[in-house]
A and B are shown apart, each in its own frame.
Chain A
Amino acid sequence: MNAWWLAAIVAVPLGLDQLIPAPAGNPLEAGRVKLGRKLFFDKRLSRDGTVACTTCHDPARAFSDGAARAVGIGAQTGPRRSPRILNRAYGKTFFWDGRAASLEEQVVQPIANPLEMGMRVEDAAARVGLTRDELTQALASYVRTILAGDSPYDRFLAGDRGALTADQQAGLKLFRGKANCVACHLGPNLTDEDFHATGPAGPDLGRYEVSRRPEDRGAFKTPSLRQVAETPPYLHDGSLASLEAVVDFYDQGKGSDPEIRPLRLTAAEKRQLVTLLRAFTGRVQEGMP
């Protein structure tokens, strides 16, 4: 693939890698991206025609939905909140518990899930005149183009020392130091793509349901912090309503992950961390330029 041709499909925002990984069997191609975008908004992919991908992944809400739990057909509520699906092209595993190993695996599972869209994937594909593979490849290709970057944080990292306020820079120092956020939230996508039991204890076993390893009980994948200020509520169960509540929660150090311990942040430090989290808000783009 030539650089100019790739750039014609996706202009990568500041802060993200130029290399957008895609499997050999489904290289990023303009036609599939366009088709995938149509399908993403298409409610015919759900059994009763009421739910599209955008229902839970609303472009106006940074591809999340603002609800504590995902809501599917028949107003059924799922066990977890809808994740922001930003920069998933760079993902290693998918869903909160990482049960899908590729976007191609991931995109069809909500269609088949009886709590979400409730259709056999083959039936959904036939309803829109496609094969299962065509549907899968198109949706995965479109999701690969949903990118978030070019935030004040990215501009600061690129060398613009004025891109972050003094408080945000203090927050960044805490993020990397005393608060130890960087243990999990790092790299261009602000996630290690790994699983940690850092959240509140509850009945949801998270990654354990996939791995069956005892240490994975209650572990969930580290979410990217891209556009995090735009997408309350927080954590896999939507149990924290605000960024302030998230910082307070981690300050207490209650999770079982070895990286977690009480942080003893001052009120000013908590405020600085929250202002930094707001600096992760940048430009979200999707589909063709």
Chain B
Amino acid sequence: MLALLPLLLWTGPEVTLLGGPSRDGRVMSNVQAPSRELVLFDFAAKTVKRVAPANGGEFAYFSIVSADGKQVAYAWKNADGFYELRVDGRTVYRNEEAGFVQPCAWTPDGKAVLTLLFRKDNTSQIAMVPLAGGLPRVLKSLAWVYPKRMDLSRDGQWIVYDSLVGQERKLYVLAADGSDERPVGEGVFPLWREDGKRVVYALGDELWELTVASGERRKLRDGMGRFLPLGITAGDALIYGLRAGGTEVYYGKRQPASLRFPDRNSAPGWSADGKWLAYVSRRGEENFGEESRVLVVREVDSTVEREIDPGLAIVDAPVWSSDAKRLLVRGADRQGRAGVFVVEVASGKVTPVEREAGLEPALFRAAWGEEDSIWVQRGTELRNGERLLQNVRSFAVRGGRLAVLYSNGKLEVDGQERGSSAAKEIVWRGDKLVGGGAYDFSGEREAWTESTARNEIWQWELPR
């Protein structure tokens, strides 16, 4: 039994869950926080080796170590604002149309990397990217749903991945030559075991194993917390990340806002009358910090606390309307279109205000204006965290339909241009919109987010 106890390999404020171990389990790639520098942890020597220092707005993201432990393939946010695939500083795939890449596994011969490509229309593609150049071999495209993890069997013959089907994450086994595919059950973050016959995967806070040929399943561990399988070593040890601690919203004299959903909350917003707090709450399995999110509204003078699932892929920064019946949020819909949305508090009904494929939600800011008009600011790209080429539009909600009031320097009422004076007065300060007759109800009372979250890297010998 002693051999089955998990072993803490690494922790610290700089540790993230972005990375993977070498086959021999001696080193692991990791993107450091907050520098976003790519490093290698040497578990035995307790040393950190720099691989790719961040450079202004350029930095590494997902990474994997080659089978021989000598190379690291990683996603690199380049100076042009999109991600390319690099190996040890060399660009091996660069295509703005596949502007986000997630390397997942090396082929056994080290000549290609199994990579997720994310297209601008928000489809994801399972592809083999040759390191010697040439076009990726796209095996399978997935609409609007992306695998959280995929892995290649040790013989390079089979890929396992997870994909959202309805509300459930399903596992699939796909031939690496694209000749065959079959569903194999429910789960998330699958990894092949050394024997190439079994897959381990997460299901909530439990670790499960599937024997692919027979479909037989067994639970390997439970109570694992918010864990994320990162890799399996040649010795059949699971290396996993664990998100420990929590993130909580407080108000007043440091009272926690949440009564029922502790440790996973952020982005508070007060209603104009000071009776209600809205905040974002995370749900489901750990997902590199991008778990599914819902809205929660809390009446602070009572125990009323209600969850609202707007059915959005991402939801953030809720702002109350003056009558406290609606929330303005930024986020992305389930088709991956980022933008601004209105959520009806009573029904959870969502009305998109502005959305566009291929953008990041952080590009958007929104606020309520006079007579419940909505002001939206949309940058066209993010560089160094700053929005560039800003674009301001305003909308009015009338009879359940949105009418454009102002767009790109033209003030419009019911489609008729009425001049542009108001637009020139729009000024944003931080996340607050001031001027131009618009105003912001948030921030009049204090509420804030505190985080005690930390990341840990663990090893656990998988049972035979």
Contact = CB atoms under 8 A, between A and B. Distances in A.
B97 interface: yes
A276 to B, nearest CB: 13
Interface string A179-209: 0001100111000110000000000000000
B357 A6 contact: no
A159 interface: yes
A40 B183 CA distance: 32
A19 B335 contact: no
A187 B121 contact: yes
B95 A187 contact: no
Nearest to B139: A18
A192 B357 contact: no
B120 interface: yes
Contacts of B135: 14, 158-159
Nearest to B180: A1
B356 interface: yes
A6 B356 contact: no
Interface stretch (B171-179, B195-203, B439-447): B171-179
Given A17-B139, A19-B174, A159-B95, A176 B121 contact: yes
Given A17-B141, A19-B174, A192-B143, A157 B358 contact: no
The 9 closest A-B CB pairs, nearest first, are A18-B178, A3-B177, A1-B179, A159-B95, A186-B121, A19-B178, A187-B123, A176-B357, A157-B97
Given A182-B121, A187-B123, 11 more contacts: A1-B175, A6-B178, A17-B141, A18-B178, A19-B178, A21-B181, A156-B97, A159-B97, A176-B358, A187-B143, A193-B143
A182 B337 CA distance: 10
A17 B121 contact: no
Interface centre among A6, A156, A186 (most CB of B within 10 A): A186
A186 B140 contact: no
A269 to B, nearest CB: 13
Interface centre among B97, B137, B139, B179 (most CB of A within 10 A): B179
Interface of A: 1-3, 5-6, 14, 16-21, 156-159, 176-177, 182-183, 186-188, 192-193, 261, 264
B138 interface: yes
25 contacts: A1-B175, A1-B179, A3-B178, A6-B177, A16-B138, A17-B125, A17-B139, A18-B138, A18-B139, A19-B140, A19-B175, A21-B181, A156-B97, A158-B95, A159-B94, A176-B120, A176-B121, A177-B357, A182-B121, A182-B122, A186-B144, A186-B357, A187-B141, A187-B143, A188-B138
A176 B120 CA distance: 8
A261 B335 CA distance: 18
Nearest to A189: B141
Nearest to A92: B143
Contacts of A21: 181
Interface string B151-191: 00000000000000000000000110111110000000000
A2 B121 contact: no
Contacts of B282: none
Interface in B351-379: 356-358
Interface string B113-152: 0000001111101000000000101111101100000000
B138 A186 contact: no
Contacts of B138: 16-18, 188
A187 B119 CA distance: 8
A188 B97 contact: no
A91 B363 CA distance: 34
B341 to A, nearest CB: 13
Contacts of B335: 183, 186
Contacts of B119: 157
B131 to A, nearest CB: 16
Contacts of B139: 17-19
Nearest to B124: A187
Contacts of A14: 135
Contacts of A264: 415
Contacts of A192: 143
B179 A186 contact: no
Contacts of B122: 182, 186
Contacts of A3: 177-179
B177 A186 contact: no
B325 to A, nearest CB: 20
A183 B123 CA distance: 12
A27 to B, nearest CB: 9
Contacts of B357: 176-177, 182, 186
